[in-house]
Amino acid sequence: MEISEDVKKLVIARLETMPANLKMSIGGDEDLDKHKMIKEVEKESDVGKKIVEMHMLYLRSFKTKM
Amino acid sequence: MLLDKKRILITRPNHDAITHYLCEWNTEIIKLAKEKNFDVHDLKAEKANKKEVISHLEKQKYEFVIFNGHGNSNQIAGYNNEILIESEKNHQLLKDKIIYAISCSAAKELGKKCCEAGSKAFIGYENDFVLFYEKNMLSRPMQDEYAKAIIIPSNQISQTLIKGNDIGEAIKRSHEMTNQNIEKLKSTESVIGAENVIMALLWNMASLKANGNLNQKI
């Protein structure tokens, strides 16, 4: 899956607003705070792609209810 | 005539944040199972190792097995990520049982193979199980409101089965609890970062799958 620059910017902007005290555990890798999540999205790693997918799933959940 | 108690086996490694959270939150399931007169074999922390798990599965007849731990599409891990169950190696040990694996991606391949090998059903996640938690709450995981909103719908699966309902009902109640928590979080403006928890709830709900017959009960 290739992530468009617009989607990447949108997700990073959303991640910037994430509280600093929150961490995410996904898979068996290191848990991520918002700064690490942003880095993963920027480099489009497997975890980064999943973070993008998660944000898109969330945004689509509003669309399906309209 | 005295009837044998039905047996539940549960693995609860606690070597990192997510396993620590699941380990602590599963105490509620163990408490409920004991109240409902199940014989619960609890493999906590270092006891959640391959030798113990295999020994229990070979020697005792378990109706329900709950795995908490890391995993992938073909493996479920225990303490310090030691592989406990693996496709084509020992998944046949789960024959005749209902399994609930809170392990990333295990429902994808392992779940199917277990059912082909005779497991009654395998409930799990086809993708990564996602948890958000507060880093300053690690010593008090039961009081972490972010994690609580995510783990409660997951626990609902085991709790519904232990209460005597079938798998279809367990999945339904887990989805209902997920949606309730999402609505609650949407309406609570005071929870900063609530949308992250909502994302995890949507993600985990989409990933939750049951292989096997949904009419099965413990």
Across the A:B interface, residue pairs with CB atoms under 8 Å apart total 65
Cβ <8 Å between A22 and B199: no
Whether residues A23 and B135 touch (CB distance < 8 A) is answered with yes
Residues B180-207 as b/e (b if ≥16 CB within 10 A, e otherwise) read ebbeebeeeeebebbbbbbbbbbbbbeb
- Residue B6 CB: number of other CB atoms within 10 A? 17
pLDDT at B160: 98
CA distance to partner chain B, nearest, from residue A16 (Å):
11
B4 pLDDT tier (thresholds 50, 70, 90) = confident
This prediction's pTM: 0.96
pLDDT band, very low/low/confident/very high, at A65 (cuts 50, 70, 90):
low
The answer to whether residue B217 scores a pLDDT higher than 90 is yes
Nearest-CB residue to B196 (from A18, A27, A50): A18
Reported as a single tens digit per residue, the pLDDT across B8-67 is 999 999 999 999 999 999 999 999 999 999 999 999 999 999 999 999 999 999 999 999
Backbone angles phi, psi at B10, to 5 degrees: -135, 130
What mean pLDDT comes out for the span B78-93? Answer: 97
Q: What is the pLDDT of residues A7-25, one digit of tens each?
A: 999 999 999 999 999 999 9
pLDDT, greater one: B188 or A2: A2
pLDDT, tens only, B170-203: 999 999 999 999 999 988 766 788 999 999 999 9
Interval A43-61 mean pLDDT: 95
Whether A63 shows a pLDDT value over 90: the answer reads: no
